[in-house]
Structure 1
Amino acid sequence: MEPRYTSDTLDQAVEALVFASDVPLRPDDVARAYGEVTGVEVEPGEVERAVGRLNGAYRQGGRAFRIQRWAGGLRMATVEEVHPFVRALFEQDQARRLSRSLLETLAVIAYKQPVTRPEVDHVRGVNSDYALRQLLERDFVAISGRGEGVGRPLLYATTDRFLDQFGLDGLGDLPTPREIDEILADPAFNRERASLLAELATPPTTDVEADA
């Protein structure tokens, strides 16, 4: 029996769609687009197998990228070995860098969501109004509802953009407290942390902090 399509055709379609998309693509979206063009129905599992074949070819060819799972979808991303080169190219993009206070606030929300502003303030020990506004504007967090306390305060949670920007498929991929302790004990991390703190010592003029 003749196959419904050739694997080469499907692989090319998957590669082109993932490469061209600005956001992570779900396998069923890729399958639907393929069907609309070819008239051949494919299952999301077949798209996943195509991704496996493509990544195998990239690996064998020594390519600097893979198709990875981010924010519940598929996205083209560089491998870890070339991250220093990518970082060197974009490190001057100061306007988009998250400051230390924004990272602190984002970490609290990521691990305790849905969470209210007073709860974030309590963990950080400072007022987080400014940081929350910045994270909302950058679409890293969103209002997810209202709490049950007095005045029914707003609840905040992370967005798909947060998952996308940090290379996570879901919140379950966040490191556990034990893994964080192991990372903090790693000498290589301490060297990277020292370098990062040195950069943050001169904050970008476009991101003036209003909180301590």
Structure 2
Amino acid sequence: MKTYERHCALFQSSVGVTIKQSLKRCIENEIVLTKFVLTSSENSRGDMQPVSLTPLLRTIRDERYMLGKELCIWGIQLSNQDIANLALLLELDGRTTYPFCSLEIIHTVIDAWSVERLGVALPVSNLRSIVLDYTNLIKYSEHLIELDLDGNAIGELCSADILDALKERLNEKMPNLNIKVTYQISSETFGSIFKNGKKSKSTRKKKKKTTK
């Protein structure tokens, strides 16, 4: 906790209340902290510094904390440097690899450079689950090769956003994506998505036929 507070002071950031509460609860109950939730809703006074991401990332690196699995960033203003630090933490080619397998960034706006930098990190990370609340990653990332939304009830509006992003990729002559999507959208949108991307092949193994 002291390391985190020191980094917050260094980067002129408020201490994340949810992080502080989680750390305190884990210490009191002698349990491991595996899920980090950083949210901007903690700032009730206008004269307080905003909550920043980099102090938390620096703390994880300084402490070489290897037990984190989920990282949730809700409503935090993210700079290019924040995204660069996040990408470095997620990538597996450093001296220390951090086993985060789930990343959630919602109610947050990041620019095209940040989207591209994050896209570079995704294929070389441990991430198995990524939650974003908009489609800029699809639009801009040349490193994104597959989009698996099978089983996710994304709905018609989100499906239309994805379709628009795929069309923009084609207009910019970017590589096609391998795509899996749920059937719980209109047949017109469902078909259009595959016209603007490539249908991902199923990885399920076929059962071998048994002979009597």
Larger Rg: 1
Larger helix proportion of the pair? 1
Using CA pairs below 8 Å that are at least 6 residues apart, which structure has the higher relative contact order?
1
- Common fold, TM-score beyond 0.5? no
Structure 2 length normalisation: TM-score?
Answer: 0.29
TM-score (ref. length: structure 1):
0.29
